[in-house]
Structure 1
Amino acid sequence: MALQWMILTYIVAAEAAIAFFLTVPAPKALKSTFVSLISLVLQPAMFIVPFSAFQLLDIYWKSEHRLMCSGETCTASERDRYEKTIYKAQRNVILCCSACLLYWCIYRVVKYHKEIRSMEEVEKRYKEE
């Protein structure tokens, strides 16, 4: 199970780096090349959304069927372990949501760049006529 979270962490880090490079000002030729490269990778990278949704369902299932540790019957170590699992679950929910949100942001930025490029081409045609 830890491998899945490690993969998701690396994907979120890569998405954050891509989002950063998409939004940093750069020369037009470099930016258009980078945007076209990312647009080719965007569709196969869509697997992150159902993967994150599956992980969220797994977190929900485990939280619903987790043994509650409350009252005097729990020892200090059991209580610490219970709290640690709660914190890990919260961290993983944030990780899943950020993966989906970053994917959506990258998708929208690439789409805006393509729309701007097409509008510039239309404007260029009108100026030539």
Structure 2
Amino acid sequence: MALQWVILTCVVAAESAIALLLTLPSPKLLKNSAVSLVSLILQPTSFVVPFSCFQLLDLYWKNEHRLECTAEICTAAERDRYEKSIYKAQRNVILCASACLLYWCIYRICKYYKEIQKLEEIEKKYEEQ
């Protein structure tokens, strides 16, 4: 079960690096090639969104069916294990939400940059006339 969270963590780290790369100021030629490369990668990596949503549903189901340890009959170790599982679930929810949010941000950055390129081409055309 931990492998899916490791994969999602790596995906979030890669997405944040890509978002940082796209938003940093750079020469126009480098920015054009980076945006075109990321745009090509976006389609195959769209699995991130349904995978994250599935993981969120799994977390919700586990939260609804979790045994609660709030009574005094629970030992200290059981309470610690219960609290640790709650913290892990909260961390994983944040991880799923950030994966979806970062994917959307990268998509919008690429789309805006392509629209800017089209507008620049139209502007060049009008200046030539």
Q: TM tier, shorter chain? A: over 0.9
Per the normalisation by structure 1, the TM-score is 0.99
> How many positions carry a matched residue from both structures?
129
Counterpart-to-counterpart distance in 1, 2:56 and 2:81 = 21
1:1-129 equivalent positions in 2, closer than 5 A: 1-129=1-129
Q: Deviations over 1:61-101 (max 9, x none)?
A: 10000001011110000000000000000000000000000
Counterpart-to-counterpart distance in 2, 1:71 and 1:9 = 34
Counterpart-to-counterpart distance in 2, 1:61 and 1:71 = 22
Which 4+ runs in 1 deviate beyond 6 A? Answer: none
Counterpart-to-counterpart distance in 1, 2:127 and 2:118 = 14
Counterpart-to-counterpart distance in 2, 1:116 and 1:123 = 10
Specify the code of the residue in structure 2 equivalent to 1:128.
E
In structure 1, stretches of 5+ residues that fail to align are none
Specify the code of the residue in structure 2 equivalent to 1:111.
K
C-alpha deviation, 1:114, in angstroms? 0.1
Identity, % of aligned pairs?
71
Counterpart-to-counterpart distance in 2, 1:18 and 1:66 = 37
In structure 2, stretches of 5+ residues that fail to align are none
Secondary structure at 2:69 match in 1: coil
Counterpart-to-counterpart distance in 2, 1:100 and 1:120 = 30
Counterpart-to-counterpart distance in 2, 1:37 and 1:125 = 26
